[in-house]
Amino acid sequence: MKLERVELVHVAIPLVSPFRTSFGTMTTKDTFLLHVVTDTAEGWSEFAGDPEPLYCSEFVAGAEIVLRDFLLPRVAALPVLGGAVAHLAPATAGIKGHELAKAALETAVLDAELRSYGMSLATYLGAVRERVPAGVSVGIHRTIAELLDAVEGYLAEGYVRIKLKIEPGWDLEPVRAVRARFGAELPLQVDANTAYTLADAEHLRRLDEFGLLLIEEPLGENDLYAHARLQQRIATPVCLDESLHSARDTASAIAMDACRVVNVKPARVGGYLEARRVHDVAYAHGVPVWCGGMLETGIGRAPNLALAALPGFTLPGDTSASGRYFAEDVTEPFVLVDGHLPVPRAPGIGVEPLPEVLRRFTEGRRDLYV
Ligand code: OSB
Ligand code: MG
C-alpha cells in the first residue's frame, strides 16, 4: 500500500449543550478529520484533541505541525507501505509523545488498509459483540436541579450508566442527589479529570458510601504513585484516564494498584493497535476496562465501538449516541436502541463523512502530504 495524499479537514460542529468539566467548558467540537488516499483505498480518522491543551498537552494546531513536519515525513520515507499500518508506530517511535496525532494518522491508514481487504475493524481487533451498552458522561451543571433533569433525560433515552463530572465544590452533593433520586441500583461513576490532590483523600473517601463503580483520574496526570496511595485510603475503585499513555503504563499502574479499572481511549495511547494491547494487559490481570470518549463525531465514534466489542470491555463506556453530542453528525447518526449502539460491520471503520454535511461544517482544508 502506498500513501498518495493526506488531507486535513478542519471542522467545527456545535454541541447540543455546553459540556463543562473540571478543566473547561466546550460548546463546539472543533477539530480536524484526516483523509488519506492510498493506491488501493481511502481512509478517514478524527483527531481527538481540542484547540486548547486543557485535557492533555496536545492541541489541534500543534497536531497539524507534528503530523506535517515529523510523522508524515517518516511514514513517507518507508520503502512501500507494505503491510501498512503495522509499520507506522515503529517508524514514528522516535517522535516523543503526541499519541493523539499518531493515533489520527494510524487510524486513517488502518481504515484504508482494512477497506482494501474488505475487513471491518471489529473483525480485525477481535470483537465478540454485535452491540455495546452505552453510558453517558454528564457535565457539571449550574444547579443540582438542572443536573437531575439532565440525568433523567438520559435515563429516559435508555442510557445504562451515568458518569458525573466532578470537581472540588461539585462532588458529594450531586452524587448524593442522583443516588437519592434514581436509586442505589443505578450504575454510577464519577470523573474528576485530575482536579484533586492526595490532601483530598479524606474528602474523596466520603464518596465510598454511594457505591460508585469507580472514580476516574482524581489526581494529577501521570502520578501513579499518588493514585496508588489514594487507593489505599478509599474503597471506590480508582480508574485511570489521563495517566495511561501505553500498555506499559497500564501494566505499571496495575502492578502498583494505582488503578482497579482502566478507561481505554485509543487516541490517548497512540491508536487502536496499542489500545488493544492495553485491553490485553488489563484482561490478563482481570482488570475491567471500558471505552472512553472525546465527544467524537461519528468518524471517531465508529472505531471506538469496534474496540468496545472486545471481551475485556465489561463495563459500559462513554460511547454515547450521536444525538447526545450533535443535532447533526458528519456521518449517518449512531442511534441508541435499547441502551446499546451497534458495532459497525462494514469494511474499515465502517462509516464515512456525508459529503454535503461535511462541507457545511468545514472551516478549511489543507494537504499535509501529496
Ligand atoms: O475525561 O473522559 C473524559 C470528554 C472530553 C475530554 C475528556 C473526557 C470527556 C468525557 C466525555 O468524559 C466522553 C464522551 O462522551 O465522548
Ligand atoms: Mg476521563
Residue 295 Cβ inside 6 Å of ligand 1? The answer reads yes
Structure confidence at residue 351 (pLDDT): 98
Cα of 296 to ligand 2 centre, how many Å?
A: 14
Residue 203 lies in a domain: yes
Tell which atom from ligand 1 comes closest to the C-alpha of 265: 2
Q: How far is CA 123 from CA 120, 289, 344, 345, in A?
A: 5, 19, 10, 8
Cα of 161 to ligand 2 centre, how many Å?
A: 15
Identify whether residues 260 and 157 lie together within a single domain.
yes
Identify whether residues 97 and 163 lie together within a single domain.
no
Residue 174 Cβ inside 6 Å of ligand 1? The answer reads no
Structure confidence at residue 5 (pLDDT): 95
Residue 316 Cβ inside 6 Å of ligand 1? The answer reads no
Burial class for 62, CB neighbours closer than 10 Å (0-12, 13-18, 19+): middle
Residue 320 Cβ inside 6 Å of ligand 1? The answer reads yes
Identify whether residues 100 and 141 lie together within a single domain.
no
Identify whether residues 160 and 302 lie together within a single domain.
yes
Residue 348 lies in a domain: no
Residue 217 lies in a domain: yes
Structure confidence at residue 81 (pLDDT): 57
Identify whether residues 100 and 159 lie together within a single domain.
no
What residues have their beta carbon closer than 5 A to ion ligand 2? 191, 216, 241
Residue 347 lies in a domain: no
Identify whether residues 331 and 357 lie together within a single domain.
no
| pLDDT-flagged residues of the chain (< 70) | 81-83
Residue 297 lies in a domain: yes
Identify whether residues 51 and 182 lie together within a single domain.
no
196: containing domain: 123-342
Task: For residue 102, count other CB atoms closer than 10 A to its CB.
Answer: 26
Q: What is the CATH number of the domain that holds 282?
A: 3.20.20.120
Kindly report the protein residue whose alpha carbon is nearest to atom 7 of ligand 1: 294
Identify which ligand lies nearest to the alpha carbon of 295: 1
Structure confidence at residue 180 (pLDDT): 98
Tally the residues of the chain: 370
Structure confidence at residue 369 (pLDDT): 86
Residue 294 Cβ inside 6 Å of ligand 1? The answer reads yes
Identify whether residues 262 and 298 lie together within a single domain.
yes
Please state the domain count of the chain: 2
Residue 106 lies in a domain: yes
**ipTM value > 0.95:** yes
Phi, psi at residue 347, to the nearest 5°? -55, 150
Identify whether residues 214 and 284 lie together within a single domain.
yes
Structure confidence at residue 82 (pLDDT): 56
Q: 142: Cβ–Cβ under 8 A, 6 or more apart, which residues?
A: none
Mutation probe of ligand 1 site: the residue of 16, 26, 60, 137 with most atoms within 8 A of C-beta? 137
Structure confidence at residue 83 (pLDDT): 55
Identify which ligand lies nearest to the alpha carbon of 135: 1
Cα of 192 to ligand 2 centre, how many Å?
A: 7
**What's the whole-model pTM score?**
0.97
Task: For residue 57, count other CB atoms closer than 10 A to its CB.
Answer: 13
Q: 183: Cβ–Cβ under 8 A, 6 or more apart, which residues?
A: none
96 catalytic? Reply is: no
Kindly report the protein residue whose alpha carbon is nearest to atom 12 of ligand 1: 137
Task: For residue 311, count other CB atoms closer than 10 A to its CB.
Answer: 11
